[in-house]
Structure 1
Amino acid sequence: MNSTPEERLARLPLREDLRGQHPYGAPQLDVPIMLNVNENTHGVPEDVQEAITEAVREAAAGLNRYPDREFTALRTALAEYLGHGLTPDQIWAANGSNEVLQQLLQAFGGPGRTALGFPPTYSMYPLLAAGTGTAYLRGERGEDYELTADSAARQVRELGANIVFLCSPNNPTGTALGLDVVEAVYEAGEASQAIVIVDEAYAEFAQLGTQSALSLLPERPRLVVSRTMSKAFALAGARLGYLAAAPEVIDALRLVRLPYHLSAITQATALAALQHRASLMSEVEEIKHQRDRIVKELVRLGLKPAASDSNFVFFTGLDDPQRVWRGLLEAGVLVRDVGIPGSLRVTAGTEEETSAFLGRLEELLAEPA
């Protein structure tokens, strides 16, 4: 008798805390307009493609040798890009921001330690915690998924977490946190010596005037700000995430990283993109324009979009989000059902993609239920 993959997996001596778990992943369907995983749908500009191709060609000549284990040139370039007086010894990078977060949990989490998140938030946090044997604690948000400084600080003090995740702009809701929240959480974590991670994966898309937690790094050795090149830099396929923190945090990560974890090809790709970022940043402005257009149109259609500092829009007010999701998919538009009642999330794409989404959505809302 044939057994299912689940049954075969159950027969293996899997760790008990991993039994029944499901791998992370959004649907990867072959549709014309993919607006479900917050990619930069504009693609890599031609001049950046050419620069990356040349950089990789040069790196290929030395692939018989291990890469620079300290990725010195890349850390220098990232420090220059971030500004805020940061130096290369305050920068770390890995294969996507998920690996950066995993390394933080490996260094500061583990059995007997806890990590705190505030759902709805990035769904990888509990999975990364589980993978490192770190207990995951679920905090609470207020109405409209707001997280205030007083509430967050109180929960950090009461729960005594060893690691705190603050996603800003938050995924899936898209709204950035005020720096007062970060400051309050950091102070509240003093008793448990909590590492406070501010996940700024979408920071480049923030509204004018939104401040980065990078400005809070001086004199806060337990504060970490993580970023990625997957979104604004259109390099989701290259897998490059990074963080800024005190030099001693970087030293801690050296204890858990795999040898030569960042390939020469990855380093060359990221460096070329940073050196030609002007083209990429012009795409960011167009994406922000389409995002704001989506918010305005959703309001006109009687829905409730959250204020967005990201490249996506989370919206509520749907009587039957699954019907809308399926109707969009039938028209070749894939958006994300994040599992929150009455809501969906859509990535801001090109002007044409955005128009297709808005046009079909309006038709679906006009149809009888």
Structure 2
Amino acid sequence: MSAIPSNLPLRNDLIGEEPYGAPQLDVPVCLNVNENPYAPNPDVCDDIARRVRDIAPTLNRYPDREHIALRRAFSDYLAKESDTRLAVDQLWAANGSNEIMLQIFQAFGGPGRKALGFAPTYSMYPEYARDTFTQWVTVPRNDDFTLNIERAVAAIGEVRPSIVLVTSPNNPTGTPLSMDETTQLLEACEQASVDGAADGVHPILVVDEAYVEFRTPGVPSAVTLIDKHPNIAVSRTMSKAFAFAGARVGYVAANKGIIDSLRIVRMPYHLSAVTQAAALAALEHTDEQLSTVAHLRQTREQTAAWLAQQTYKGAALTVAHSESNFVYFGVFDDRDFIFRSLLERGVLIRDVGPDGWLRVCMGTDDEMARFREAFSEVLRLAESR
């Protein structure tokens, strides 16, 4: 809990707010923040150290503020991963996709502007809106957490937002968005107007693909739509599948006009030389960095199937379809009891989203075995209450 003295001139709209963040607790099994549980292999670590060592003598100078080499590396990666070749000026990187999102809100949000999302979704989105004085508006998803596309399209025309933000796979539910649905949202944005903007201005569609590498193989990414649609931006990260959360590297693919808009609001030299060097080293080892993705995908399917066989107070658990590295499950009349009881057994998951639902990230095989053991104990305990 923060303890901000009442005599500080904190912004009125921030009084009573708490810093965002999932719990950081020292427990044996941490399955709450959707990291890749497998560390980079020693060869990757050696190359990261070598690259950082090579640029260390230049740290008295500012880094390349346009991070051209890194943007080229992302272009090469997307050409391989999504079969889409983008130019350097269609790519932009920052300190995690969180900073990318904040830059999007800084550039396209602001007083008098609205951002439209689809709940439940990532809990940081309303904070980006708050921090940029952007009005945050949500449309509910269907009961199975899929997007109600008719309702979504109608809301774009009615709300007239400057930003339409959709996550695929969705956090916290893992729900994917089809290419057809993405295209329908894009077409609605291309027809809609924006409150507080001049005639002829249309919303941008931001597709957050933080977990996209965990999708079913062969399913296309929204980056394939960029060259045909100037109003789409696709945000990605190296924090999840790429096993690079500690380095804080995110990036966005979009039309040059969107990228140039972000360059207006970015802080000078926002991406350090050390960060750029580490990211370049990791991108040279793409296959190694992503080598555990298939196994984590299999672990997700096995965990979802196992959870669907469990019962809580006589009823089978509901498990949301996930294309991510986590599984969303419920419904519990006292999810806090389940959460706390697991924590008492050294297993930390996440109580997030609609009441009654919980999220577990995929860990190592040993961690998942411990989760199943602890969760079985907690379910038996719940039955005896």
Interval containing the TM-score (normalised by the shorter chain): over 0.9
Q: CA deviation at 1:275?
A: 0.3
Equivalent residue number for residue 76 of structure 2: 80
Equivalent residue number for residue 323 of structure 1: 337
Q: CA deviation at 1:5?
A: 5.5
Query: Do the aligned partners of 2:94 and 2:249 also contact (CA within 8 Å) in 1?
Result: yes
Q: Does 1:269 align with 2:265?
A: no
Q: Deviations over 1:30-85 (max 9, x none)?
A: 00110001111112222211111111111112101111111111000001101212
Equivalent residue number for residue 367 of structure 2: 353
One-letter identity of the residue aligned with 1:297? W
One-letter identity of the residue aligned with 1:45? N
Query: Do the aligned partners of 1:207 and 1:309 also contact (CA within 8 Å) in 2?
Result: yes
Q: Find the partner of 2:317 among 303, 316, 320.
A: 303
Q: Does 1:248 align with 2:277?
A: no
Q: CA deviation at 1:247?
A: 0.9
Q: Runs of 4+ in structure 1 displaced over 3 angstroms?
A: 4-7
What stretches of structure 1 of length at least 5 have no aligned partner? none
- Distance in 1 (CA, whole Å) between partners of 2:2 and 2:28 is 31
CA distance 1:92–1:199, shift in 2 (3 Å):
same
- Distance in 1 (CA, whole Å) between partners of 2:152 and 2:62 is 44
One-letter identity of the residue aligned with 2:233? V
Query: Do the aligned partners of 2:121 and 2:353 also contact (CA within 8 Å) in 1?
Result: no
Q: CA deviation at 1:6?
A: 4.4
Equivalent residue number for residue 122 of structure 1: 122
- Distance in 2 (CA, whole Å) between partners of 1:97 and 1:270 is 14
CA distance 1:300–1:184, shift in 2 (3 Å):
same
1:181 alignment partner, SS class: helix
Q: CA deviation at 1:109?
A: 0.8
- Distance in 2 (CA, whole Å) between partners of 1:330 and 1:262 is 40
Equivalent residue number for residue 214 of structure 1: 223
Query: Do the aligned partners of 1:174 and 1:309 also contact (CA within 8 Å) in 2?
Result: yes
Q: Does 1:238 align with 2:247?
A: yes
- Distance in 2 (CA, whole Å) between partners of 1:169 and 1:81 is 20
- Distance in 2 (CA, whole Å) between partners of 1:110 and 1:56 is 38
Q: CA deviation at 1:207?
A: 1.8
One-letter identity of the residue aligned with 1:92? W
Q: Does 1:258 align with 2:258?
A: no
- Distance in 2 (CA, whole Å) between partners of 1:315 and 1:250 is 37
- Distance in 1 (CA, whole Å) between partners of 2:35 and 2:151 is 32
- Distance in 2 (CA, whole Å) between partners of 1:188 and 1:5 is 42
Q: CA deviation at 1:140?
A: 1.7
Query: Do the aligned partners of 1:335 and 1:346 also contact (CA within 8 Å) in 2?
Result: yes
Equivalent residue number for residue 141 of structure 1: 141
More off after superposition, 131-140 vs 344-353? 131-140
Equivalent residue number for residue 205 of structure 1: 214
TM-score normalised according to structure 2 size? 0.92
TM-score normalised according to structure 1 size? 0.96
Q: Does 1:194 align with 2:208?
A: no
Query: Do the aligned partners of 2:2 and 2:18 also contact (CA within 8 Å) in 1?
Result: no
Q: CA deviation at 1:353?
A: 0.4
1:144 alignment partner, SS class: coil
More off after superposition, 136-145 vs 59-68? 136-145
2:180 alignment partner, SS class: helix
Q: Does 1:42 align with 2:38?
A: yes
Q: Deviations over 1:277-318 (max 9, x none)?
A: 111211111211211111011012132111111111101133
Query: Do the aligned partners of 2:333 and 2:356 also contact (CA within 8 Å) in 1?
Result: yes
Equivalent residue number for residue 159 of structure 2: 159
Equivalent residue number for residue 90 of structure 1: 90
More off after superposition, 29-38 vs 202-211? 202-211
Residue-pair matches, total: 365
What's the C-alpha RMSD, in Å, of the aligned pairs? 1.4
Equivalent residue number for residue 67 of structure 1: 63
Equivalent residue number for residue 328 of structure 2: 314
2:224 alignment partner, SS class: helix
- Distance in 1 (CA, whole Å) between partners of 2:319 and 2:267 is 42
Query: Do the aligned partners of 1:150 and 1:184 also contact (CA within 8 Å) in 2?
Result: no
- Distance in 1 (CA, whole Å) between partners of 2:238 and 2:135 is 29
**Percent identity (aligned):** 51
Q: Does 1:278 align with 2:277?
A: no
